[in-house]
Amino acid sequence: EQEIGQSSFLRLACEVALSHHEKWDGSGYPYGLKGEDIPISGRIMAIADVYDALISKRVYKSPMPHKKAVDIIVEGRGSHFDPYMIDTFLEIEDDFRTIALEFADFDEERDLLINKD
């Protein structure tokens, strides 16, 4: 690792970048961290990253409706994601939808996010 200096922002950015692909059950990467050994910033970003990947249009896939994305994330409770973070995510999932709608790049994404089904 390179020295990032004294910036707390850069230290946090590095922590998030290095830990958001770790999984609660230890099957993630790059270090195979498990449970509370994963920094809380990485546990939070893991949910946001997966949500964004699921609801976003890509050249290789269509966007997914909000509810289906939420259901997939909830299925990862205790394996992919921290169970407590999933409980918290469920309390604020409409905020995720609102923010995603504001920053949607394509009409197809917006249409799926607007639909509450």
- Could you count the other beta carbons within 10 Å of the beta carbon of residue 4? 11
pTM of the model: 0.92
- pLDDT band of 47, cuts 50, 70, 90: very high
pLDDT at 77 over 80: yes
pLDDT at 7 over 90: no
Question: What is the arithmetic mean of pLDDT over 24-48?
Answer: 99
Whether residue 65 has a cis bond before it, omega within 30° of 0 = no
The rounded distance, in Å, linking the Cα atoms of 8 and 40 is 15
- pLDDT band of 3, cuts 50, 70, 90: low
What CATH number labels 8-114? Answer: 1.10.3210.10
Question: What is the arithmetic mean of pLDDT over 96-106?
Answer: 96
- For the chain, give every domain's residue range: 8-114
